[in-house]
Structure 1
Amino acid sequence: MTTMVDASGSAPARWLRIVPDTMTMTGRVLRLARRDPDELLVGLLLPTMMMLLFVYVFGGAIEVGTDYLSYATPGVILLCAGYGAANTAIALVQDSALGIMDRFRSMPVAGATVLAGHVLASVLKNLVTTTIVLAVAALIGFRSDAGPLAWLGAVGVVTAYIAAITCVATLVGVVARTPAAAGGLGFFMLFLPYVSSAFVPPETMPAWLRGVAENQPVTPVIETVRGLLVGLGSDGAPVGDLGPTAAVALIWCASLAVVSLVAAAWVFARRGR
């Protein structure tokens, strides 16, 4: 009798297993990623290629008032992490297309754990990507005088950004019908950092574009990470109090994550019914 009640979803037993079920779903997504050579190859090559491209191809022609490697590294970190997080949308659409989501709905598993597993797996995978970017940057000369607390703060902000973009991707993944449609978010996230302070100071942009660059979510995140790691602002000068910028960055990340995840859970449950 207990099994029948749990399977029907009318008992709270499945909610008591939300943590272990989330860990199971996270492990599943990570195993699938490990078995996908294309994803592994992109995860290794994209950060390396982007770092080398900006430093050795564009760096010599861009004047930012300081060493361009120090200036651009936080931007490359956010670019690669955002693109990788956005690919969660494709993974969710593929699960739906293969009928796996229908199988999960028929099991005594809370729908939230399915989505949470994708989110946690994305955060873990993209923190690895961030490590690769930093390793490549260090090999070609990047140095940071940041102390342990500053490094911890930078990792925390990057993690919050990855989680926020993953939550947006989760919403796209449960709404989109095809992998091509879901992939549009990855394309968008690949170019969004260009319209920010990631690679050039917003002051060098046309007035209308400067307003966009200064008031979109990526800019305060990059400014916070750059300030923590190398102590520089968007103009290449030493940065002052990072508190207000960090607060704006975290508010952006939290808002995107909460709104997107709540909407994704609602759509996921509605489609299940």
Structure 2
Amino acid sequence: MSAVSTTLADSAIMLRRNLKHTLRNPTTMFNAVLFPIVLMLMFVKVLGGGFDVGVDYIDYVTPGLLVMAVSYGLGATATEVNSDMTKGVINRLKVMDVSRGAILSGHVVITTVRALVACAAIVGVAFLMGFDPAASALDWLGVIGVVLLLAFAASWLTVAMGLAAKTVESAGIATVPLIMLPFLSSAFVPADTMGTGVRQFVEYQPFTPIIETLRGLLAGNPASGDLIAALAWCVGFALVGYVWAVSTFKKRA
């Protein structure tokens, strides 16, 4: 068996292992899938009437909630990766001659899958609540591509954080900025309605152009400037996360 086929086989095994862990952990499933839906219901049904955003609030807020659906599943990944590292699981896998690349990619793939499931749930509930996008089939492909790229990039960054943390608790805390940043973006209200200082932070933080790209695609009117910035941030996250994760894994494993 070639090295490539061995790595792929090992990756499939690690993916199956991580999938079983996800299904057996109700907290992980709630944070990754159900909690974003709870946020949607709260913002649209409870708070949405207080915001004047120029369109139906469900249409405005859905792109931001897609990004939040990606970010809310990251904490579980960081703690799972760190638990594997600190409790000796990695060492046992090394004895079994499991590919090192498979160990990391298994966590990345399951995190990406969880994010896509959560985003699909968000879109389904949004339609039930009156979501009416003007996106064409090509625009929807763009939405899927941006969400997939964001989930993949954030997964690598989160795996790196989990590997670098000293304890399971600190691994979970390390992902808090990634979870909180979507709140400090244009996810729920336009940036130009915010005060000086906050507005500038919102405009230049990484999640705002990603959200605006999704908003433009779903409205059938994507902006090239937002798209370029969104892709640049996602690629940057992925590269930093991959290099950081691989180097940390080599040092600690």
Shorter-chain-normalised TM-score: which range?
over 0.9
SS where residue 114 of structure 1 aligns?
helix
Q: Equivalent of 2:93, from 104, 110, 117? A: 104
* In 1, Cα distance between equivalents of 2:97 and 2:68: 38
- Deviation, 1:90, is 0.9
SS where residue 130 of structure 2 aligns?
coil
Q: Give the corresponding residue for 1:9.
A: none
> TM-score, normalised to structure 1's length?
0.87
Q: Which moved more, 1:37-46 or 1:246-255?
A: 37-46
Q: Give the corresponding residue for 1:153.
A: 142
Whether the 8 Å CA contact 1:198–1:219 is kept in 2: the answer is yes
- Deviation, 1:105, is 2.3
Whether the 8 Å CA contact 1:83–1:187 is kept in 2: the answer is no
Letter in 2 for 1:258: L
* In 2, Cα distance between equivalents of 1:77 and 1:13: 39
Q: Equivalent of 1:219, from 185, 190, 208? A: 208
Q: Which moved more, 1:220-229 or 1:184-193?
A: 184-193
Q: CA RMSD in A?
A: 1.8
* In 1, Cα distance between equivalents of 2:244 and 2:6: 23
Q: Give the corresponding residue for 2:112.
A: 123
- Deviation, 1:13, is 5.9
Number of residue equivalences: 253
Deviations 1:34-86 (A, max 9, x none): 12222223334202211101101111111111111100011111112112134
Whether the 8 Å CA contact 2:32–2:72 is kept in 1: the answer is no
Q: Segments of 4+ in structure 1 off by > 6 A?
A: none
Q: Give the corresponding residue for 2:47.
A: 58
Q: Give the corresponding residue for 2:226.
A: 245
* In 2, Cα distance between equivalents of 1:213 and 1:139: 30
Gaps of 5+ in 2: none
> TM-score, normalised to structure 2's length?
0.93
Deviations 1:10-44 (A, max 9, x none): xx965552222222211211111112222223334
| CA distance 1:137–1:114, change in 2 (3 Å) | same
Determine which structure has more spread, i.e. the larger CA radius of gyration.
1
- Deviation, 1:230, is 2.1
Q: Equivalent of 1:42, from 4, 15, 31? A: 31
Q: Do residues 190 (structure 1) and 171 (structure 2) align?
A: no
- Deviation, 1:262, is 1.1
* In 2, Cα distance between equivalents of 1:38 and 1:87: 9
Gaps of 5+ in 1: 1-11, 232-238
- Deviation, 1:98, is 3.0
- Deviation, 1:177, is 1.9
* In 2, Cα distance between equivalents of 1:187 and 1:38: 16
Letter in 1 for 2:252: R
Q: Give the corresponding residue for 1:268.
A: 249
- Deviation, 1:181, is 0.8
* In 1, Cα distance between equivalents of 2:187 and 2:217: 14
Q: Do residues 26 (structure 1) and 7 (structure 2) align?
A: no
SS where residue 131 of structure 2 aligns?
coil
